[in-house]
Amino acid sequence: MLGFMREKGAPPSEAEAEAEAKPRPSIEGGWSKVRTIATSSGTHVYEALSSNGVTVVVKHVSFPSLKYCVAPRWYDERKIELQIEISILSRLQHKHIVGYWGWYKTEEMVDIWYEYINGNSIKEVYLEGKFNRSNIPVYTRQILEVLKYLHKNNVIHRDLSCSNILLDENGVVKLAGFHFAQQIEGEKAVPRDKEPEEWVRWAAPEILIPSEAHSEPASEVWRCLHKLIPEGLHCGPASDIWSLGCTVLEMATASVPYSNMSLWDAVGEVFEGKLPMVPEELPNDCRDFIKTCLQFKPSNRLTAAQLLCHPFIAHAKD
């Protein structure tokens, strides 16, 4: 069980005080759609209005639609991931994490209610050509504060990228995208046993490990990875640090890692021990920060707490 509860008598944290000050939506009263934010494989994300007039974000998952859209093995796993997501979100409270309001479930569907952020993702901002690179150290520090909090509480995010980092109306980071988050058991977590999608560009080598149930080609990949990471093939907090390095690189270049190649070629680069290209024109402390994160052996990566002292962000202020 995760231990996020405040001790009796302790003063509320900044995040708790902020959450308590916001009007709470009435989940029991249902919601009405304002607009569609995103759609994929039986899942729809909406900006919505609760029955008591609070603007929220609702992730609506239709089980019949999900079953139609994905293979049977992914359907069962996706339902488990939803349970894990809800369990983790219900225990998280941090000023740089998108707030969680609650959930509602029937036999046919589940709705997960989130805080509405009046802003865009960092990826949306840089695609519009409005991203200010001078803010990268500040955003990176805020992301590290979240990772420090998560890792202290034995949770790893596993899907860090500019698409899942929102900026509110004040330009403050709010981390979202906890659908692949996982509680660490015994300092280890299972790899993401998924078909390659866009997320692999940010994934640490240990997260790209194929399932033992896969065929012989996967075994060859496993042997390649074992040469890179001889101390053991598992994902943990260090996996998020690799993804952070890729995310800082994405902010600095306004493009995804391995942007000049296909997904499979990107995976091949990782298996061959090749880092994504870090442009020479980036500031030295930025380049050093990225390369410090992108260490193939997880044990060689610094922790979030240690990286908060790196020169690249040490003097960054909100």
Cα–Cα distance for residue pair 265/283, rounded to 1 Å: 28
Annotation says 240 is catalytic: no
Residue 44 is classified by DSSP as: E
Burial of 14 (0-12, 13-18, 19+ CB in 10 A): exposed
Cα–Cα distance for residue pair 207/100, rounded to 1 Å: 26
**Strand ranges in the chain using DSSP code E only, listed in sequence order:** 31-40, 43-50, 55-62, 100-105, 109-115, 120-121, 155-156, 165-167, 173-175, 182-183
Q: Which of 168, 193, 285, 288 is catalytic?
A: 168
Cα–Cα distance for residue pair 124/115, rounded to 1 Å: 19
Cα–Cα distance for residue pair 247/254, rounded to 1 Å: 10
Give catalytic residue positions. Answer: 168
